[in-house]
């Protein structure tokens, strides 16, 4: 028990040292309930054309298939709430994409985390994951006591809201485990459901991903967006933050201290005209380290034409 406590303290200290805002630890186990929920969600086609979500089903629910002899799942939250906002009349970009691509930023931190663990604890095997691997990170965050799943499907932390990236580190050592977060503080509030422009938020915390503005503007690779969604996107050209912006818990959000998430000046300052006149070469130069490169210049232009065809 003393060794577990000692190792756990080291992990908590390292998480702060590496700039993570919250750290929780859960026992590695098969997520049977989540397996059923995920299967139902996929069966209803809520993943749209995101076919990759159907892959590696077993890996998503069993951490031991990702890390042999997995004992513990460490969940880390990294705040990305920006200190500056876009102009009201600019094409809107989701706040998570204001700065450098979080995959690269957090992957580097997870790699260093594992290295420092091996230096401080000894022989330890593990893998770090950030969003791009088959890990049900929100479930692990709840099991680690870091918050609850809101009606909008996001993890909500009682102290700081929901503008967080969730990273996961699965390791083969036993640790002191946090109690799962047992309460739901959304109560009778339905602000996120009422505000969703495309009615993508369904009852019982189910999200129809195939209706989400983020899906259309980022994930969907079709040359044209569906006419049925015309005039529902508002000004959103990459992602959507509506359900988070209206959430009362995000009144507790504080600006991130991560310098890598400092907003790219063009994201804050470009006018409608400048976005429309942006050529592919300049786009690739300005946003080479940005999440915007996921949709590429062609995708941004498609989205601009969809929401502002007359500009």
Residues serving a catalytic function are: 131
Q: Which helix (H) or strand (E) holds 25?
A: strand 22-27
Give the angle 265-271-274 at the CA atoms, nearest 5°: 90
76 contacts 169 by C-beta, under 8 angstroms: yes
174: tokens are 């036993």
Mutual orientation of helices 2-17 and 102-121 as an angle, nearest 10°? 140
Q: 120: burial class by Cβ within 10 Å (0-12, 13-18, 19+)? A: middle
Interacting residues of 245 by C-beta distance below 8 A, sequence separation 6+: 195
Backbone φ and ψ for 236, nearest 5 degrees, come out as -75, 125
Helix locations, the chain, DSSP H: 2-17, 32-43, 57-61, 102-121, 137-143, 191-195, 213-214, 242-245, 265-269, 272-277, 280-286, 296-307
Q: 172: burial class by Cβ within 10 Å (0-12, 13-18, 19+)? A: middle
How far is the CA of 178 from the CAs of 24, 25, 59, 74, in angstroms?
6, 6, 23, 10
Q: How many helices (H) and strands (E) does the chain have?
A: 12, 10
> Distance between CA atoms of 23 and 78, rounded to whole angstroms?
9
Q: Which residue shows structure tokens 């870091």?
A: 146
171 contacts 126 by C-beta, under 8 angstroms: yes
């Amino acid at each position: 028990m003393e060794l577990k406590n000692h190792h756990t303290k080291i992990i908590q200290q390292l998480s702060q040292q590496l700039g993570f805002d919250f750290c929780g630890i859960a026992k590695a186990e098969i997520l049977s309930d989540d397996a059923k929920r995920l299967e139902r969600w996929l069966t209803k086609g809520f993943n749209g054309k995101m076919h990759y979500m159907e892959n590696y089903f077993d890996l998503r629910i069993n951490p031991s298939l990702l890390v042999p002899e997995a004992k513990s799942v460490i969940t880390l939250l990294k705040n990305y709430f920006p200190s500056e906002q876009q102009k009201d009349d600019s094409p809107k970009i989701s706040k998570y994409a204001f700065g450098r691509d979080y995959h690269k930023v957090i992957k580097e931190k997870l790699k260093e985390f594992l290295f420092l663990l091996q230096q401080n604890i000894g022989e330890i095997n593990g893998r770090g994951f950030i969003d791009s691997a088959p890990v049900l990170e929100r479930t692990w965050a709840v099991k680690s006591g870091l918050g609850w799943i809101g009606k909008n499907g996001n993890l909500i932390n009682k102290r700081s809201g929901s503008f967080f990236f969730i990273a996961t580190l699965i390791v083969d050592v036993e640790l002191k485990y946090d109690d799962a977060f047992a309460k739901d503080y959304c109560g009778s509030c339905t602000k996120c459901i009422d505000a969703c422009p495309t009615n993508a938020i369904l009852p019982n915390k189910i999200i129809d991903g195939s209706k989400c503005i983020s899906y259309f503007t980022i994930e969907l690779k079709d040359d044209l967006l569906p006419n049925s969604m015309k005039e529902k996107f508002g000004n959103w050209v990459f992602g959507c933050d509506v359900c988070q912006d209206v959430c009362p818990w995000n009144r507790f959000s504080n600006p991130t201290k991560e310098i890598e998430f400092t907003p790219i000046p063009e994201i804050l300052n470009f006018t409608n005209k400048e976005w429309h006149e942006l050529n592919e070469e300049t786009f690739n130069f300005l946003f080479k380290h940005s999440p915007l490169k996921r949709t590429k210049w062609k995708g941004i232009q498609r989205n601009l034409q969809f929401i502002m065809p007359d500009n």
